[in-house]
Chain A
Amino acid sequence: MLRDQILYWFAIYLAVGLPSLILLRLMVYFLYGPSPYGGALDDIMQEIRGNGSLRVRSIRLAGKVLMFPLILLIWPLVVGLVLQYRFSSSGRDWKSDPEAAFHCKRSHLVRVVTPEAAEAAAFVVDPLGRVPDLPFGHLNAGWRALLADRQIGDSLWYFEVPGHTPAPDAEAQRHQYAVPRGTKRGYALVQSRKVRAEFVFEWD
């Protein structure tokens, strides 16, 4: 397992580092001309041959020598880590908002209700008897599914999603609807100020 992980990160290191190294070397070559050692080695050679006291040159040389492998080792790994996080499932979860899957957003929440109060307001009566005698009538299974999904810490909210009215000159307005379209009403389970589940009982 550990061996696999080491190989995985080594592969990422090579995949990022080698093409970048070749590219950078080409850039140095074309921008600064050919050099017998390369940019970083040139610096080191200058320190060895340069002026100043031996102590100062030794300190500067040690810094450059130490920095060289550190940078060489770390930067491809950092790039690899960022790429891996960005494209992994955890990275995607971090980018996407789980609440986006719901019709109800935080701004649509109207008031906290109890399940009993919601049910009391939801009995449907039909003179022809074409609806079951249950809260939310034909939608009762959806309501029961919402209640079954409740967890400790959830609160039940009544919500209203406003519809949209096209601008008077918009092409979509050629059919002259009188009321906004796409309005929705329902109940949502909210935990830590986040919508966790929803049940829509009325929708245009």
Chain B
Amino acid sequence: MTAQFSERLLFEGQELTLCAVPLGPFLEFSGSTLKFEATSTALWRGYVGTWAIENDRLYLVKLSGNSVIDGEEREVGLEALFPDYPDGVFAHWFTGELRCPSGALLKYVHGGFGSLYEIDQFFRVQRGVVLERRAVINGQGKLGASRSYQISAMTTFGKKKQD
């Protein structure tokens, strides 16, 4: 088990760390044939999405991933999934809570998005529409504790090339 790279969330001019994977349900149920390739043990999903909340709606605005196309591993972006929507797509398929941690690290967990930080900001979303925003204070970090999202170790894979 390895801690995973977070997604990014643009909100009110800030870039937040997003510990959720709202694209997962889309990939599973949309009928998309695109398969992402893991580039390291810290990115098993094979991509990092940049999301934005605009007018209380959740959009996927950027995607950076790896996929094997024509036998060769290539970097792919939003256009690979949504060719008609280069500026972003409305994430109407997502219902649930988005969690954005910030502040000093309280407890490091080397798996998934398990680490605990001083503040968790939650956005409750229903079918892509943000209904509620709240913050939870988890505690106060020690002096000198790391204040950025941490992944302590990972194994990086080489690029795939099929003959």
Q: Residues of A with Cβ closer than 8 Å to B?
A: 124, 126-128, 130-132, 137-139, 141-142, 144-145, 174-179, 181, 183, 185-186, 199-204
Q: Which residues of B contact A203 (CB under 8 A)?
A: 24-25, 28-29, 93-96
Q: Contact between B138 and A174 (Cβ–Cβ < 8 Å)?
A: yes
Closest Cβ–Cβ distance, residue B64 to chain A (whole Å): 19
Closest Cβ–Cβ distance, residue B82 to chain A (whole Å): 7
B141 within 8 A of A: no
- Taken together as a complex, chains A and B put the C-alpha atoms of A130 and B122 apart, in Å, by 24
Q: Contact between B26 and A139 (Cβ–Cβ < 8 Å)?
A: yes
- Taken together as a complex, chains A and B put the C-alpha atoms of A177 and B136 apart, in Å, by 9
Q: How many residues of B contact A (CB 8 A)?
A: 37
Q: Which residues of B, 105-131, contact A by the 8 Å Cβ criterion?
A: 107, 116, 120, 122, 124, 127-128
Q: Which residues of B, 88-104, contact A by the 8 Å Cβ criterion?
A: 88-90, 92-97, 99
Question: What are 6 A-B pairs at a CB distance below 8 A?
Answer: A131-B89, A137-B90, A178-B97, A183-B96, A200-B29, A203-B24
CB closest chain-B residue, reference A181 = B96
Q: Contact between A142 and B31 (Cβ–Cβ < 8 Å)?
A: yes
In the complex where A177-B97, A183-B96, A199-B29 touch, is A130 in contact with B85 (Cβ < 8 A)?
yes
Q: Which residues of B contact A127 (CB under 8 A)?
A: 55, 57
Q: Which residues of A contact B32 (CB under 8 A)?
A: 141
Per-residue CB proximity of B123-160 to A under 8 Å, as 1/0? 01001100000101010000000000000000000000
Q: Which residues of B contact A178 (CB under 8 A)?
A: 97, 122, 124, 134
